[in-house]
Amino acid sequence: MKPLRRSLLAVAATLSVLGAAGVQAQTVTLRLHQFLPQQATIPAKAIVPWAQKVEAESGGRIKVQLFHAMQLGGAPPQLFDQARDGVVDITWTVLGYTPGRFPKTEVFELPFMSGNAEQSSKAIQEYVEKFAADEFKDVQLIAVHTHGPGLFHTKTPVTGLESLRGMKIRGGSRIINNMLTKLGATPVGMPVPAVTDALSKGTIDGTTIPWEVTPALKVSELVKNHTTFAGKDGLYTQTFAFSMNKASYEKLPPDLKKVIDANSGVVTAAMFGRAMDEGDKVGREIAVKAGNNIVALDAAETQRWRRTASTVETDWINEVKGKGIDGAKLAAEARALIAKHSR
């Protein structure tokens, strides 16, 4: 019996080794869904490089299947829930498309909060990890980030506060729409993919977006005026989440989880922000080459806008107070982190 027992143990050991090897050799395909065309800044300069890096670092065992421009169905405001619910494995989306759902993270959308996207993306990543992780508890958060300075792109020039009054301007979140109202415009809320059609049909007179997304939307062809502000901060910014389904993450073997972990957090946030900054240069240059009118408001006029828009922050602080959130403290923390990452 002893030789038989030894044989059985040897077979069991061999099967165990083969089983372990099978686990180690496991390959997975992750479906990634987002709302912009493939040639837009973030898909081309951040999401594709991220996917390639993950595939390379996993030795080809993680395959990232990319679906651009809502190819898998639904609308941009549904993307966060598509990741949460496992409709897809990973999504990238604008947090402001689901109003009121991320009240702590909204602080980065307040007027004149930030400018440089790489710096503010590092700041918002650290901020979320410290103060707003509960808002992302239903997903495996890969990174959050912001775009660069927000500005106006309009059919008729915006040369001061008075010239904005009555204009129908697209806004990308409730905070931005409130700001537009305070500034005298008529806000029209819509996801960014709808901007091209809305400008073409005259549904809106202009839009608030950063320079980086203007080429993909053909904005510099549809409008000939762009209004920027004095100083390093933009009129506003928007916040984005790159999220993974929790179950999709948990099913990964430990070594593949490490690959996702190594491509999450502040380094990834910075990469996405850096892509935004580079995209801003490209978008602005296209407008310059087209001979468009770029209005640069001076420091005095910019200060008028700051004063007028400042009540947006007061409104937000009062609103989140009703949810048990100390908005004034969070705004101070956000500014401190932006300053830290701007040094």
- What pLDDT is attached to residue 15? 46
Element (H, E) at 260: helix 254-262
Average pLDDT value for the chain = 94
**Mean pLDDT, to the nearest integer, of 151-178?**
98
pTM of the full structure: 0.92
- What pLDDT is attached to residue 6? 56
Closest CA to 207 of 251, 242, 238, 252: 238
Which of 14-23, 44-53, 96-105, 140-149 shows the lowest mean pLDDT across its residues?
Answer: 14-23
List b or e across 251-266, with b for residues whose CB sees 16 or more CB atoms inside 10 angstroms.
ebeeebeebbeebbbb
- pLDDT higher than 80, residue 1: no
Go through the domains of the chain in sequence order and give each one's CATH number.
29-148+237-279 (3.40.190.170), 151-236+289-342 (3.40.190.170)
- What pLDDT is attached to residue 2? 53
- What pLDDT is attached to residue 3? 52
- What pLDDT is attached to residue 337? 98
- pLDDT higher than 50, residue 14: no
- pLDDT higher than 70, residue 9: no
Say if residues 132 and 105 touch (Cβ distance below 8 Å).
Answer: yes
**Mean pLDDT, to the nearest integer, of 113-136?**
98
Helices 299-321 & 174-182 angle (0-180, nearest 10): 130
- What pLDDT is attached to residue 203? 98
Radius of gyration for the alpha carbons in the chain, expressed in angstroms and rounded: 23
Q: What are phi and psi of 293, to 5 degrees?
A: -90, 110
- pLDDT higher than 90, residue 285: yes
Alpha helices per DSSP H over 46-173:
48-57, 79-85, 117-127, 161-164
Task: Give the pLDDT confidence of 16-63 residue by residue, as tens digits.
Answer: 444 444 445 789 999 999 999 999 999 999 999 999 999 999 999 999
Amino acid at 292: N
Residue with tokens 């990452």: 341
Task: Give the pLDDT confidence of 228-284 residue by residue, as tens digits.
Answer: 999 999 999 999 999 999 999 999 999 999 999 999 999 999 999 999 999 999 999
Amino acid at 313: E
Report how far residue 242's alpha carbon sits from residue 138's, in angstroms, rounded to the nearest whole number: 13
Q: What is the three-class DSSP state of 237?
A: coil
- What pLDDT is attached to residue 20? 45
Task: Give the pLDDT confidence of 69-87 residue by residue, as tens digits.
Answer: 999 999 999 999 999 999 9
- What pLDDT is attached to residue 231? 96
